Amino acid sequence: MLARSGGTGGIGTEALRHFYSQHFIPRMPADIHMTPTHRSIGPGFVVDEFNLSFTHSVQMDWMLPGLAPTGRSVRVPFVVVVKFEGDKVRFSACRACAVSS
């Protein structure tokens, strides 16, 4: 999984473990809320569309690289594509469509 906006993420088990444990999960604002808008499921893939809303209260280099917390309210539409091979994730991409406040 590579987070394009921040150039973060990783390929392989250890790189992903490091990304999620050090950069992604601990860098979520306390008031983060995800609102699903659409889901497509096909043979070997899932596409989720959702809005992420939060107050920019923590440094979030995975999404807003280099931007110190502003205290502003933010809403971001996201698209996530996951492809499977058997019972394993083969590919995952997450794309923020725009950032509005």
Residue 12 lies in a domain: yes
Q: How confident is the model at residue 100 (pLDDT cuts 50, 70, 90)?
A: low
pLDDT in tens, 61-77: 777 878 899 999 999 99
How many other C-beta atoms can be found within 10 angstroms of the C-beta atom of residue 85? 9
Confidence at residue 8, expressed as pLDDT on a 0 to 100 scale: 55
Q: In what order do the strands lie in the sheet with 88-96?
A: 8-9, 2-3, 88-96, 73-85, 45-55, 33-42
Give me the CATH number covering residue 85. Answer: 3.10.450.50
* Closest by CA position to 6, among listed 57, 60, 55, 56: 60
Residue 33 lies in a domain: yes
Confidence at residue 12, expressed as pLDDT on a 0 to 100 scale: 67
Confidence at residue 75, expressed as pLDDT on a 0 to 100 scale: 92
Residue 101 lies in a domain: no
- Contact between 93 and 80 (Cβ < 8 Å): yes
Rounded to whole angstroms, how far apart are CA atoms 66 and 35? 26
Q: Which domain holds residue 67?
A: 2-96
pLDDT in tens, 12-57: 677 777 777 766 777 789 999 999 999 999 999 999 999 999 999 9
Judge whether residue 2 has pLDDT over 70.
Answer: no
Whole-prediction pTM: 0.70
